[in-house]
Structure 1
Amino acid sequence: MTALTLSTSAPAALRSDAIVVAVAKGAKGRPVVVAGAEAVDKAYDGKLAAVLETLGASGGEGEVTKLPAPSGFKSPVVLAVGLGDAPEKGETFDGETLRRAAGSAARALAGAESAGFALPLDSAEYAAAIAEGALLGAYSFTTYRAGAAQKAAADQEKKDKSAPLGEVVLLGGKPKDKAYKAATERATALVGEVHRARDLVNIPSNDLFPKSFADIALAVGKEHGLKVEVLDEQDLREGGYGGLLGVGQGSANPPRLVRLVHSHPKAKKTLALVGKGITYDSGGITLKPAGHNETMKCDMSGAAAVFAAVVTAAKLGLEVNVTGWLALAENMPSGSATRPGDVLRMYSGKTVEVLNTDAEGRLVLADALTRASEEKPDAIVDVATLTGAMMLALGNRTFGIMANDDAFRTSIHEVAEEVGEQSWPMPMPRELLKAMDSTVADISNMGERMGSGLVAGLFLQEFVGEDITWAHLDIAGPAFHEGAPYGYTHKGGTGSSVRTLVRLAERIAAGELV
């Protein structure tokens, strides 16, 4: 992973591949130099903004402009990244603006060994945002590039232009300041696990299936002192986990339920996280139409996020007990697959009529939610790429939040906003529950088409234990990015909701929530 250091070095004295500065869009669309770049601007005789304008820069969000460094600089290039509109007088840039700008700069510097970031660092909060953005931007997934290892061995002298930026140096940082040091250490730990989630989502389904995912959880859990328990297909059968078994029975790769536990001796609260882990979703017998299968390796993004969040809690030593549940299955069509009209007996004892085998995520989550509820945690949050309806409602960058407690739903929305993840609170209209009435079972797995993202949440609520605070995050939109990269977001798996879950755990540890 990319190295991160705080430095008091002057920009001119740092020996690196580039010095990064920030500019904003000022009056009449002209670039304005932002705090942190004063020394660089001075080296251009106070004309850095004018030079950038000549080169066509405006300071627009994510805009990247490279120019030769001034005479006397030990770094050959200055990279100016745009922050968007300059704030009004008395206002400042928010953390997410700086996070995205640092990410854009890091992406533009792929292949470089190091870069100094001369961005606003007048608080530990700014340092944290810039560190996170730069580290998130410094990512690549090249595991499956043909001959990558052989090429690297034969070409050691040459720089790999696709490799992530090797080192991020925060200029103007305070290495001896406890707050700055803690902020950057947290950023390194957190982003390392976001990258783990991204990697898991990007691994193709022929290599990541329920057993191999569970094996990774066992190995990583051991490394970080987590207690890990894996229920295989025989355990699931003996335990009566009809949802997991029903979804997975059409696949040659049987399902798994993984329990990971971070515990702290001083913890006063317990947070349970439940993740949908469909390692490939064909839709089952209700087969997905052409054009909807190609990215279905990402249907385990919720489980990846939960896994990463629990590991992060352990890395940071959070004073809260965090239990992660990974509901892992592969949804395939075959002679043994669950058919539309079949009835499954869930772990809770309730029966579910399966009207659509492509509404499988809620079935595996239902078993895991019931099992998690048995431990009586103070709160449960499930995370899933659950419904296309949520994407229609909120687009590709925003996840929906549903909950059985309005205050808890609001708190999660505020936490997501704090860490820079786009979210929106969604209602749970009780009248939609009737649409899931079944003539042969306790409930069916489908309801009304209109509001079907809300119907899915109402279904899940039926499997949450009494008097347990619960929330559901539908990350179907932001979990996998298919468009052009932007900010710190690359194509492919994004690690959506990891930062929100970790910050939620931190706030619970601090006694602020639940």
Structure 2
Amino acid sequence: MDFSIKACDWTKGTTGGFLTGKSDCIVIGVFEGQSLSGAALEIDAATKGLLTRIVKAGDMQGKSGSTLFLHEVEGIGASRVLLVGLGKQDAFGQKAYAEAARAAWRAILGTKIVQVTFTLAQLPVKERTADWAARTAVLALRGETYQFTQLKSKPEPAKHALKRIVVTVDPADEKLAKLAVKQGQAVANGMDLTRDLGNLPGNICTPSYLGETAKKLGKEFKLKVEVLGEKQIEALKMGSLLSVTRGTTEPAQFIVMQYQGAGAKAAPVVLVGKGVTFDSGGISLKPGEGMDEMKYDMCGAASVFGTLRAVAELGLKLNVVGIVPAVENMPSGQATKPGDIVTSMSGLTIEVLNTDAEGRLILCDALTYAERFKPAAVIDVATLTGACIIALGHHHSALFSKDDALAGELLDASREATDPTWRMPLDEEYGEGLKSNFADLANIGGRPAGSAVAACFLSRFTEAYPWAHLDIAGIAWKSGAAKGATGRPVPLLTQFLIDRAGQ
């Protein structure tokens, strides 16, 4: 789809030519119980009070998310007008705007409309700017049009005809809005890659498949890529990581992708993504119900791939390293057993009390490896704990960090990206349950505060740099009728890096 920005000042009566230009549809917002304003007022004047009559008749009451198509409207060039309800104007914040945008796109995608003029980005959204609104509109549309049909025997036809979108903004916002549209498309492309990797089944998306994907990404976007095999991983003394992969025939891969947008001496931001391409639980076998969804246990890795793609497409002026420890966790006669003790790359020994707490075992070695880059910050991303879902459900990802400045940056980015994140406690007391009689630490504690205990485990390997941990177990995919990867937290991570780059 082709997106473009059009500067338009509805208050100065200079839009007559614009309104008479040919298009398939123009999208107009209507607030509940409010008089018409902006583009709606201009359209109303051009159509001799048509919108006013429709509102008075009750056909469009402005209820949030409601839509109404007007056909063959005289006085304007668009063949259709789509009215979108915005709800109460005094409650029109970023959530209401995003819902209005999604409602508009859903209505349009159900038609044969090819070209649309979208005016909602000019609406007054609380604490948000027009460039934010333009980017959000792009992401909302791309989210509505995503399909995963690669593995169906017969290709499915596209469910929409839409090809060209013109987003109108005030003249003063035109420059920033153009950049925002570019950012929105890059983030959407990254999210699509993340969704595709997440949605692939475990018999296709293996650790080796992730390694090949990294190499392809490197060629396309000029990233430096290294994919280490098990002998190289063993030479690095990553005994904790290798303990997870002992039960499978699929070889582990340790993937390192480097994007250089700044000088060679500039300290990079390192993203570490959990890449368990299928998690059976190992000897601590998971229940059979819903186990198919454990193909999504590599969504942390997938989000690192997607974020690096977005960063490279935007050409951000900073250095970013993506590290993906990729393994499969399966039971067999060779698998690690509960009670086994392994030695991590850091030298710390770990008593494996539960082989289903495997994500932290691969991440700890990756976090130790990250030290060699002398990073400005390290953020690990993982579908780490079911306890996170119990705590926060499926709306917020969980943020753990002892670094207030880094945590603040991530929370600011989450709000700007509309990718909700909640900071969780990381007090030392949560790590008390990790004590072992036989090793330096155990890989699990008790049931209480399981996500905080897991974060405390990881923190033992991150003392050399500023670090944050994102537990995305509740937000990386959806179950049920809408089953599929979400592409989160690519928007959060990309916004964080955009902010870091000052772009």
Same fold by TM (over 0.5)? yes
1:48 is aligned to 51
1:499 Cα shift? 1.3
Partner of 2:502: 510
Return the alpha-carbon distance in structure 2 between the equivalents of residues 411 and 164 of structure 1.
39
Matches of 1:275 and 1:293, distance apart in 2: 21
The CA deviation at 1:461 is 0.4
Candidates 320, 323, 337, aligned match of 1:322: 320
Count of aligned pairs: 485
Against the structure 1 CA distance between its residues 26 and 213, is the aligned structure 2 distance closer, same or farther, given a 3 Å change threshold? farther
**C-alpha deviations, 1:257-316, integer Å up to 9, x for none?**
111111124474421111111111122221221323132221111111111112222222
- What CA deviation, in whole Å up to 9, does each residue of 1:85-109 have, x standing for no partner? 3226xxxx44454334323322333
Is 3-12 or 245-254 further displaced after alignment?
A: 3-12
Mapping for residues 153-164 of structure 1, pairs under 5 Å: 160=158, 162-163=159-160
Shift of 1:47: 4.4
In structure 1, the partner of 2:292 is 294
Q: Give per-residue Cα distances to partners, 1:340-373, cap 9 Å, x unaligned.
A: 1122211212111111111111111111111012
Corresponding position of 1:334: 332
Matched, 1:448 2:446: yes
Matched, 1:15 2:17: no
The one-letter code matched in structure 2 to 1:227 is K
Which residue of 83, 88, 102 maps to 2:86? 83
Contact 1:273 1:324 in 2 (8 A): yes
Question: What does residue 365 of structure 1 align with?
Answer: 363
- What's the offset of the Cα at 1:215? 0.4
C-alpha contact (below 8 Å) 2:419/2:488 kept by paired residues: yes
Corresponding residue number in structure 2 for 1:59: 62
In structure 2, C-alpha distance between the alignment counterparts of 1:175 and 1:481, rounded to whole Å: 39
1:138-168 residue CA offsets vs partner (Å, 9 max, x unmatched): 32222123311xx65xxxxxxx4x2574332
Matched, 1:167 2:168: no
Shift of 1:57: 4.9
Task: Give the letter aligned to residue 473 of structure 1.
Answer: L
Instruction: Report the 3-state secondary structure (helix = DSSP H, G, I; strand = E; otherwise coil) of the residue aligned with 2:345.
Output: coil
Q: Which residue of 1 aligns with 2:489?
A: 497
Contact 1:115 1:167 in 2 (8 A): yes
Give the AA of the match of 2:88: D
Give the conservation status (yes or no) of the 8 Å contact 2:268–2:373.
no
Instruction: Tell whether the 8 Å contact from 2:169 to 2:177 is kept in structure 1 after alignment.
Output: no
2:408 to 385, 407, 410: 410
Q: 2:260 aligns with which of 260, 263, 283?
A: 263
Q: Post-superposition shift, 1:33?
A: 5.0
Normalised by the size of structure 1, how large is the TM-score? Answer: 0.87
Whichever residue aligns with residue 139 of structure 2, its letter is E
Equivalent residue, structure 2, for 1:25: 32
Instruction: Label 1:395 to 1:338 Cα distance change in 2 as closer, same or farther (>3 A).
Output: same
CA 1:504–1:439: 2 relative to 1, 3 Å: same
Decide whether aligned partners of structure 1 residues 69 and 21 sit closer, same or farther in structure 2, where only a CA change above 3 A counts: farther
Aligned in 2, Cα 1:55/1:3: closer, same or farther, shift over 3 Å? Answer: farther
Sequence identity percentage: 36
- The correspondence for 1:143, drawn from 147, 150, 159, is 150
* 1:426-445 mapped onto 2 (5 Å cutoff): 426-445=424-443
Equivalent residue runs for 1:96-495 within 5 Å: 96-110=95-109, 112=112, 113-121=114-122, 123-148=130-155, 160=158, 162-163=159-160, 165-172=162-169, 177-266=174-263, 268-466=266-464, 468-482=465-479, 491-495=483-487
Separation in 2, partners of 1:14, 1:179: 26
Q: Is the 8 A contact 2:193 2:305 kept in 1?
A: no
Query: Is the CA contact (8 Å cut-off) linking 2:273 and 2:303 kept in structure 1?
Result: yes
Question: Quick check: 1:36–1:120 contact (8 Å CA) kept in 2?
Answer: no
Root-mean-square deviation over aligned CA pairs: 2.7
Deviation at 1:110, TM superposition (A): 2.9
Task: Show structure 1 runs of 5+ residues with no match.
Answer: 153-159, 486-490
- Asked if the contact 1:25/1:82 (under 8 Å) is kept, the reply is yes
Distance 2:267 2:332 in 1: 44
Matched, 1:36 2:44: no
User: SS at the partner of 1:140?
Assistant: coil
- What SS is found at the alignment partner of 1:251? coil
**Residues 175-227 of structure 1 deviation map (CA, whole Å, 9 limit, x = unaligned):** 99432322222222221111111111112222111101110111011110111
Q: TM-score of the superposition, structure 2-length normalised?
A: 0.88
Distance 1:132 1:65 in 2: 22
Contact 1:410 1:425 in 2 (8 A): no
The letter for the 2-side match of 1:247 is V
Partner of 1:488: none
Counterpart Cα distance in 2 of 1:419 and 1:97: 15
Superimposed CA distance per residue, residues 443-462 of structure 1 (whole angstroms, 9 cap, x where no aligned partner): 11110211001001000101
Tell me by how many angstroms 1:240 deviates.
Answer: 1.7
CA gap 1:408/1:418 in 2 versus in 1, 3 angstroms: same
